[in-house]
A and B are shown apart, each in its own frame.
Chain A
Amino acid sequence: MNKFNIEPINQERIKIDVEDIPQGLQIKLHGDIDMEDPSILLDPFFSKIHEGITSKKMKEVVADFRGLNFLNSSGIKAVAKWIMKLTDLADDKKYLIKILHNKDITWQVTSLPTLTFLVPGGVKIE
C-alpha cells in the first residue's frame, strides 16, 4: 500500500495502480476509460490523491497514461477537474502533475497536451 493508503482501482476494463515515489505519488492507468460516467470512479480517486499530496505538502504526482488505450470525454472531464484543483492552492501546497504519454496512441498525442493549458505551470507532459 502507498503512503496515503489510497486503494488502487481494478475494474473490468480499467486498472489504476498507485505507487510511492520520493517526491509524491505515481499512478499508472491501464485499459479503457469509456464508461458512461467515469466520474463516479475517478473523482473520489483523484480527490484522495489531491488531499494526500497537499496535506503532506509533497511536490509531484506522476500520472502514467501510457497503458491507457482509450479515454472518453467524460474521463477527460474527470482529469480536468483534478487539474483545476491546482488553481487556488497556497504556494506551499502547490504540486506538479507530470503526465507520461504514449506517442504511439493517437488520442494521447492529441488530448493529453491540451491539459497543460488548464493551469499554466501545473501540468507537465513527457
Chain B
Amino acid sequence: MAETQKTGHEGYIELKFGPRWKYIACVRGFVQNFLAISIVDQTKADKIAMAASELLENAVKYASHDETHVVIRVYPETEKIIISVENTSNPESIKTLKDVYSNIIKGDPFQMYIAQMKEAAIRSDGKSHLGLARIRYETGGDLSLSIEDNSVNLSIVIE
C-alpha cells in the first residue's frame, strides 16, 4: 500500500508492508521510480534506492511483527531526502542492531565500511552486518537509530 502526497514544499511517500523478502525488490524499484520524478540527480536517486533496499532487508530480517513502515520525504528545492524505516523487533535483535550501529557510526565512513567488510568476511553465521556501514559510506548521509520499547526506527538524511 503506498500513498503519495505533497505538503507545502515537501513531497513524500509512505508504505506499509508485511515484511516479506520478495517485496524488497518491488519497493526498491518503486522508490527508484518515485525519485526519478522527484529529483534531478539520478545518481542520488540510485543511492537512495539502494539505501532503502538495505534498510528494508534489515527490517525484514529482524522484524518480530508483520508490519514495516517506510517513509521517504523529498524536499525538492534542496533535493534533501529523508528515508525512515520503522518496525518492531525482539530484545535480542535490538541489541544486535544497537551493537552494529554503535560500531559503524563512530569512525570515518570509508574506514568503517572496509573494517566491517573484513569482519563480515570471517563471519560464519550467514549474516553480514554490512548494510548500515554500506549505506553510511555510499550515500554520505547522516544515519540515526532510535529505539523505543520494541519499536526500531532507522533513518538516513541525505543532503
Asked whether any CB of chain B lies closer than 8 Å to the CB of A77, the reply is yes
Q: Mark A77-98, 1 if CB is under 8 A from B, else 0.
A: 1001101100000000000000
| Chain B: CB-nearest residue to A106 | B46
**Secondary structure of the A contact surface, majority rule:** helix
| A106 x B47 contact (CB < 8 A) | yes
Asked whether any CB of chain B lies closer than 8 Å to the CB of A29, the reply is no
Mark out the residues of chain A between 40 and 68 whose CB falls within 8 Å of any chain B CB in the assembled complex.
Answer: 40
CB distance from B104 to the nearest CB of A (A): 12
> Count of A-B contacts with CB under 8 A?
80
| B114 x A114 contact (CB < 8 A) | yes
Segment of B20-28, B63-71, B86-94, B145-153 in the binding face: B20-28
Given contacts A73-B131, A114-B114, A118-B114, contact A80 B47 (CB under 8 A): no
| B53 x A110 contact (CB < 8 A) | no
| Chain A: CB-nearest residue to B43 | A106
Please measure, in the bound complex, the distance between the C-alpha atom of A76 and the C-alpha atom of B50, giving whole angstroms: 13
Q: Mark B28-52, 1 if CB is under 8 A from A, else 0.
A: 1000000000000011001100100
| B46 x A80 contact (CB < 8 A) | no
Q: Mark B136-154, 1 if CB is under 8 A from A, else 0.
A: 0110000000000000000
Asked whether any CB of chain A lies closer than 8 Å to the CB of B118, the reply is yes
CB distance from A95 to the nearest CB of B (A): 17
Interface residue from B60, B114, B121, B137 paired with A77 (Cβ < 8 Å): B121
Given contacts A84-B122, A106-B43, A114-B113, contact A76 B24 (CB under 8 A): no
Segment of A2-10, A18-26, A30-38 in the binding face: A30-38
Asked whether any CB of chain B lies closer than 8 Å to the CB of A74, the reply is yes
Q: Which residues of A contact B (CB under 8 A)?
A: 13, 32, 34-37, 39-40, 70, 72-74, 76-77, 80-81, 83-84, 105-107, 110-111, 114-115, 117-118
Q: List 8 A-B contacts (CB under 8 A).
A: A36-B60, A73-B54, A76-B120, A76-B130, A80-B117, A81-B120, A106-B43, A110-B137
